[in-house]
Structure 1
């Protein structure tokens, strides 16, 4: 389970992790839209596994079909990883019950399904309300906003990755960016992107705190 506040990079990290997996050895149904209930959840998994007959099956036949697919995948040396993004939006009790039952699909020496839940912080409390599922979650990660030092390192890393060797943002500018964004990476990205566009258009040698302050004030004006 991977949790964290909005904008901290949960989806990006989850997708980056999945891209590192060998597609010839993994089946990855990705669910990014909230489901109404447990049966809807199962049908969506079956659909994401490539079976278009999901809408024509009742719950029992849907479960049997999922079992057949993941068992066949295991026999071929593949691991099935079900990724549920925006999982904090799942509220129906029956969905959590189906998650728990899916994790019971196993052989004597292997689990047939790995479940990766990705969502905002309320997901943690939602899972705690379902002890049977909570006890089956083996690994948990929580993303937090970046620290002051982390924001500086993050901005430097993004610029270096883009091929920039010399600093672009003055130290006081990044200080102000951290203060304004509270270390939320998506907000950092947004203000830095705008600053770089303006810096390029005005042929600035660097972005100082004065320019960042102007952008912050403009953003506040647009929001009122």
Structure 2
């Protein structure tokens, strides 16, 4: 709607998993490197923690793109973790073998089926299964964690036959802490924190450049205001910037200043108060 007015090729602040718009902050780079190290080193597992809107799912999407572009790995992405232990294991099987396991299969038989038809077959195919559990803090049944931990018992020649990556919000830490054996297997841990003021500026500039911007749209004071109201949360930055561009278009503004950002931010906050 406002793209032509601001000389943009597309909307720069959509809250979608488009990795073209992924800003590589220092924390993102470190978190990605740790997860990648876990995968390439055939480690048992890793955990990534971040508040809502911190960019965990975007990082996860970038990781999946990389895995899908490599024949060395077999990515298994579970984005809906509110499953029973049996459903979790069936989902792993279905994603890897493209068929569903027998409907009434017993839990132990299912684990043996995974061992034979997924893990050892993948090893023979020179592919390493990587199970990514997004929004893992939403796992309700503690037995899910136990069953996934048991899968790490499958090893060959001193290496795990799969890698588990748990990605979620801080409550995930409390759940993992209840399971000492699983916690010990998740030796690689990282956290995505909020962006600081300087990173917010770079984030906004980067996303605008991807969308085709060649001029300064947001004033320095506007960026400072965005940083304050968004608290450095990428999803909130997107919301504020998107509405600021829309409001600026409506007012035929030449630039987005702090006053406009303040107005937009207050309007967004009013909706939830």
- With structure 1 as the length reference, what TM-score do the two structures score? 0.93
* Match of residue 16 from structure 2: none
2-structure distance, mates of 1:220, 1:4: 22
1: CA distance, partners of 2:134 / 2:102: 20
Residue of structure 1 aligned with 2:229, choices 159, 165, 180: 180
* 1:30 paired to 2:73: no
| 1:149 maps to 2:198 | yes
The answer to whether the 8 A contact 1:81-1:115 is kept is yes
Alignment counterpart, residue 57 of structure 1, candidates 105, 109, 122: 105
2:90 is aligned with 1:43? yes
Is contact 2:90-2:100 (8 Å) kept? no
Correspondence for 2:268: 219
Would you say the 8 A contact 1:43–1:55 is kept in 2?
A: no
User: What secondary structure sits across from 2:155 in the alignment?
Assistant: coil
Q: How does 1:81-100 map to 2 (within 5 A)?
A: 81-100=130-149
State the alpha-carbon separation in 2 of the partners of residues 213 and 120 from structure 1: 29
1:205 aligns with 2:251: no
Deviation of the 1:40 alpha carbon: 2.7
Q: For residues 228 and 136 of structure 2, what CA distance do their matches in structure 1 show?
A: 29
- State the partner residue of 1:116: 165
- Cα RMSD for the two superposed structures: 1.7
CA–CA distance in structure 1, aligned partners of residues 108 and 120 of structure 2:
16
Cα distance change, pair 55–32 in 1 and its aligned pair in 2 (3 A) = farther
**1:190 is matched with which residue: 234, 239, 254?**
239
Task: Report 1 or 2 for greater relative contact order, CA contacts < 8 Å, sequence distance ≥ 6.
Answer: 2
* CA distance in structure 2 between the partners assigned to 1:64 and 1:4 by the alignment: 34
**How much has 1:48 moved relative to structure 2?**
2.4
Q: Tell me the secondary structure at the aligned position of residue 130 of structure 2.
A: strand
SS at match of 1:117: strand
Structure 1 position 14 matched with structure 2 position 60:
yes
| 1:177 to 1:151, Cα distance in 2 relative to 1, 3 A | same
Offset at 1:132?
0.4
Query: How many pairs does the alignment contain?
Result: 224
Residue in structure 2 matched with residue 80 of structure 1 by the alignment:
129
Q: Secondary structure at the match of 1:98?
A: helix
Give 3-state SS (helix, strand or coil) of 1:82's partner: strand
Q: After TM superposition, give the deviation of residue 23 of structure 1 in Å.
A: 4.2
Q: Which runs of no fewer than 5 residues in structure 1 stay unpaired? A: none
TM-score relative to the length of structure 2: 0.77
- Of 122, 130, 135, 2:179 maps to 130
